[in-house]
Amino acid sequence: MSDLILSILMLAGTALLAGGVYILYKGTNKKQGLLMLVAAGVMFANVGIWLIPTPENNQPLSPQTGD
């Protein structure tokens, strides 16, 4: 399920990137184009953060049983 969500985020980020570049090139609404580029950057950063591998020994501790 998370693979599907990450794929959708990448597609949406690519669409925002292309749309932002198009709007900036066209010159109609520069503020909206810049905001679209920022949103695409945030999406790509989120996908990058989710894909960073974590070491095995960095897992949450399991509750210890009493002696």
- Contacts of 59-63 with C-beta under 8 Å, sequence gap 24+, read none
Q: Structurally, how many domains does the chain consist of? A: 1
Q: Is residue 42 part of a domain?
A: yes
In-domain check, residue 9: yes
pLDDT at position 23 is 95
Tell me the pTM. 0.74
User: 16 lies in a domain?
Assistant: yes
> Is 62 a member of any domain?
no
Rounded Cα distance between 22 and 59, Å, is 44
Instruction: Name the amino acid, one letter, at 8.
Output: I
Helices (H), the chain: 2-26, 30-51
Residue 19 covered by a domain: yes
In this prediction, residue 19 carries a pLDDT of 95
E-strand stretches of 1-67: none
Q: Which domain holds residue 23?
A: 2-51
**Tens-binned pLDDT, residue by residue, of the chain (67 aa):** 678 998 999 999 999 999 999 999 998 899 999 999 999 999 999 999 888 877 776 666 666 665 5
